[in-house]
Amino acid sequence: MNVTPLALHSPRAVRDALRSHGWEESLAGTAAEGIHTSAFHLTGLDQGALEALVPFAGTLGLEVLTGDGWAILAGSRSRLSALARPWTVPESLSEVAVGIGMALPPASATTWQTGRGSVFLDRPVIVGILNVTPDSFSDGGHYTGVAAALAHAEKLLGAGAHILDIGGESTRPGRTEDVPAKQELQRVIPVIQALAQNYPELVISIDTVKASVARAALDAGAAVVNDVSAFRLDPAMASTVASARAGVILMHSRGSILELASYRHADYGGDVIGGVLAELRRALTLATEAGIGQDATVIDPGFGFSKTAEQNLLLLDQLTALQALGRPVLVGPSRKRFLGAAANIPLEDRDRATATACAMGYDRGARLFRVHDVAGAREALALAHAVGTGS
């Protein structure tokens, strides 16, 4: 007899073992997902719920650790799903059942709908950064003219970018003045028009928090709005995206446009994961209320925005938690301060750390990656994809 450990950080090991015994691929994948282990941290539990949870969870084969008003619940997805049925649990556990049901991630989205059609997510999707600003933290002033922007766009696409994200207002730390909409439009619209003319099938994203800029960019050929405030800073943004039937990236952040990259609003009461989840969930609700289709939304945890270096590292480690929101996840760790702090490297040497962070993000469920150095990220993500899928 042979006993071989199966690494359960992803469902692949169980899936491949079942396939080796003749199971059909889709059935093996479903079974592997069902056996995959998850854990949840429950807080604010009353005594009645705590007293009922331990024995009931035990009958389902779940592991439970408890304390004063809290519990950690762990087990396979199939057994957790059995708990997430309010009509079958003791009355004192009905709220727990609903909460677990909402936290269990749904099936991963396979496409993202944009104004230019579907973006397929079966492989990593790279979003190349094209800043047409004079003061961006990494590449400010390099591509401010249309000719320079087009030349750089060609390099990004040649290196493997699937989408280009055009930004006309920097969110770098230490900014002291807003960019007026008129000036932002003068920077981005000619570039978007030129890109749309030269690359008719290209999915172009406009990185802005202003609805007026988003509307003009969409009219000029953009298909996606990347709102780093997730609809917080301009109440007209959600309806603008909805009316254009555009795709949207909702990034977590806090504070005004001048505070986004600071630590001024980085107090999450010891629970940065819970805070990011709750605030992105509110943004998704706003999107739904505005008439934006669920399949048009992508979420971004906002690395480097209103988070300390330690919080960013924790968020990267726990990125899988965002799958509970049921939307594709984009990450943008490119050249961020937390990478420099973790690896003790200056801004100009952070592309290797960026590629590593992207690969780690892919392993934790991210499928879109916003980067400056497309070639390095593409290589790291190709390896991560091959390891994770076997193809």
Two tokens, residue 134: 């004079």
Strand runs labelled E in 177-316: 203-207, 224-227, 247-251, 297-300
Secondary structure of residue 151 in the 3-state scheme:
helix
Element (H, E) at 114: strand 111-114
Contact indicator for 73, 50 with CB cutoff of 8 Å = no
Q: Which among 176, 320, 324 has a CA at the least distance from the CA of 258?
A: 176
What distance in Å separates the CA atoms of residue 342 and residue 345, rounded to the nearest whole number?
8
Two tokens, residue 215: 């509307």
What is the DSSP secondary-structure string of 350-383? -HHHHHHHHHHHHHTT--EEEES-HHHHHHHHHH
Residue with the two structure tokens 């950064």: 129
Question: Beta partners for 111?
Answer: 120
CA atoms within 13 A on the CB side of 293: 13
Contact indicator for 194, 150 with CB cutoff of 8 Å = yes
Q: Residues in the chain, how many?
A: 391
Beta pairing, strands 125-131 & 163-167: parallel
Which CB contacts under 8 angstroms, 24+ apart, belong to 318-324?
Answer: 318/273, 318/364, 319/361, 319/364, 319/365, 319/366, 320/364, 320/365, 321/273, 321/277, 322/276, 322/277, 322/280, 322/365, 323/105, 323/108, 323/365, 324/102, 324/103, 324/104, 324/105, 324/277
What distance in Å separates the CA atoms of residue 260 and residue 227, rounded to the nearest whole number?
12
Q: Residues 232, 336, 337, 367: which is the catalytic one?
A: 336
- What is the Cα Rg of the chain in Å? 22
Amino acid at 143: Y
What distance in Å separates the CA atoms of residue 268 and residue 343, rounded to the nearest whole number?
25
Q: Does 336 qualify as catalytic in the annotation? A: yes
CA atoms within 13 A on the CB side of 230: 26
Q: Residues 116, 232, 367, 370: which is the catalytic one?
A: 370
Query: What residues act catalytically?
Result: 336, 370
